[in-house]
Amino acid sequence: MNNENMIEAKDHGKVCIINTEGKIVIEPEIDVDTLYYPSNGLCQVEKNGKYGYIDESGQLVIPFKYKKAYPFSENGLAFVVQENGLGGYINKDDNFVVHPIYESGSSFRFGFAAVLRNGEYTYIYNNGNKAIDNTFKKAGGFSTCGLAAYQEFDGRYGLMDTTSRIVLTLKHGCELADFKEGSEITKFRVNEREALINSKGKIITGLKYDKIIISSNSHLHRFLRNGLWGYIDDEGNEVIPNIYREVSEFTEFNVASVKSYHPLAKDNIVNFYINDRDEIIDNKLIQFTNQLLHQRYSKVSRFKNGLALAVKKAEVSESCKKRTQDDVTEEDTTKGSEEEESNEDILHEVKIYFKSMEKEEIFDFINEELGGDGGVIILDIEDNYVKLLWPLSPCLDIEDIGMALYYATEDGKIGKYDYYKID
């Protein structure tokens, strides 16, 4: 599952969905460990490793019983996985419409879904019948532009439309990326260079980019060339030149964080915000907005369609509240300085060794998975590695850090980590 579409209840907080004003619009009526963005009226939820669904009022409408659960599609069906590892498609009444015989399945779009069975991919209709005779080594679901990416058994990649007409076939050695949810363009890679493909299946740029990161939330996409980052649009136009050392994805509000060389700045690097016209935005406005959100929420994800996943701050427990002067005993007064110190955050150092993640992607990972705006500080960063300073409330245990890293790294699939208290 895409980690961008989920949020976990950490630090004893409760998960919810908020609007751009910071107001809660969806909150589970039951305790959950993980909450996902709503899709066609329902949200996936997870508790103790089991998945179910809530409606937009927060009521649990499909119980926690699945090994995995995915968003509901436009046709009202969702792919779920049973304990035996096989999945099928259920309706909103929790009845299987397509039998659970598949190893994986995409969302339905235009009446089709890509499914995997016995090591081969094919496409099916809403009723589970095969939509085409061909099978593939790999196949993705259809994008909103009506194209789907596939890979033949001989290794070649291509694109086809909803009539199963082949619109593009790439040469051997080229690797084609799947369409990201919400995007109508994709990319391919060959000989360490990348190029864009548009919504009609046509290659619209040359192989002149070291890397392109396609955005699901913006019409502008990051590209890297000669060690510097810029932005390219859906038509292949370089609308913001590659002049930045580091860049973030544009938000739904057309704001991105960038870093640029400046001879008078500390370490010769200055950090600021730009809009989609490459105009500098006042940092104070962005920081003030973030501060307002973080007064109530310990973590807030990126906004999508006006909604963001959030973790409500837990009420301070009685054991962590400072006692009043009337409650202080004579013995306590002899340890006043020690008690004051015990109420301060305890600092920990965290090191993450990623299997394959570039520096720019690590910045996004920290912000989205570990709450980069919530106190975690980056001490050192390079490709495939980051060192963090992690303040931890004395109310919490060091294993809360371990649990956060466990889920963020997908149990070691993304990378390994070390953490310890700083004496």
pLDDT of residue 59: 98
pLDDT of residue 374: 52
Report the alpha-carbon distance of residue 82 to residue 186 in Å, rounded: 32
Report the alpha-carbon distance of residue 6 to residue 163 in Å, rounded: 33
Judged against a pLDDT cut of 80, whether residue 367 lies above it is answered with: no
Judged against a pLDDT cut of 80, whether residue 331 lies above it is answered with: no
Residue-by-residue DSSP string for 173-241: T-EEPPPPTT-S-EEEEETTEEEEE-TTS-B-S-S-BSEEE--SS-SEEEEEETTEEEEEETTS-EEEE
Burial 222-242 (b: 16+ CB within 10 A, else e): bbbbeebbbbbbbebeeebeb
Judged against a pLDDT cut of 90, whether residue 406 lies above it is answered with: no
**Which residue did the predictor score with more confidence, 120 or 401?**
120
Task: Pull the structure tokens for residue 333.
Answer: 């007064």
* Top mean-pLDDT range of 237-246, 290-299, 341-350: 237-246
* Top mean-pLDDT range of 77-81, 365-369, 378-382: 77-81
pLDDT of residue 318: 38
**What are 263-279's pLDDT values in tens digits?**
877 788 999 999 999 99
Run of H or E including 308: strand 307-312
Span 82-100, mean pLDDT?
97
Output phi, psi for 95, to 5 deg.
Answer: -110, 140
**What are 334-352's pLDDT values in tens digits?**
444 444 444 566 888 899 9
Give the other-Cβ count within 10 Å of 69's Cβ.
25
Fill in the DSSP letter of residue 89.
E
**What are 151-189's pLDDT values in tens digits?**
999 999 999 999 999 999 999 999 999 998 888 999 999
**Closest by CA position to 144, among listed 74, 81, 206, 196:** 74
Judged against a pLDDT cut of 80, whether residue 284 lies above it is answered with: no
pLDDT of residue 244: 96
* Top mean-pLDDT range of 266-280, 307-321, 384-398, 400-414: 266-280
**What are 106-150's pLDDT values in tens digits?**
999 999 999 999 999 999 999 999 999 999 999 999 999 999 999
Judged against a pLDDT cut of 80, whether residue 385 lies above it is answered with: yes
pLDDT of residue 3: 67
Q: Which of these ranges, 63-67, 169-173, 178-182, 253-257, has the smallest mean pLDDT?
A: 178-182
Judged against a pLDDT cut of 80, whether residue 326 lies above it is answered with: no
Report the alpha-carbon distance of residue 5 to residue 185 in Å, rounded: 20
- Residue for token pair 């004893």: 12
Q: Which residues contact 365 (CB under 8 A, 6 or more apart)?
A: 357, 408
Per-residue pLDDT band at 101 (split at 50, 70, 90): very high
Per-residue pLDDT band at 371 (split at 50, 70, 90): low
**Which residue did the predictor score with more confidence, 335 or 46?**
46
Report the alpha-carbon distance of residue 250 to residue 398 in Å, rounded: 34
**What are 199-212's pLDDT values in tens digits?**
999 999 999 999 99
Task: Name the percent of the chain lying above pLDDT 90.
Answer: 63
**Which residue did the predictor score with more confidence, 4 or 108?**
108
pTM higher than 0.75: no
**Which residue did the predictor score with more confidence, 158 or 401?**
158
pLDDT of residue 316: 34
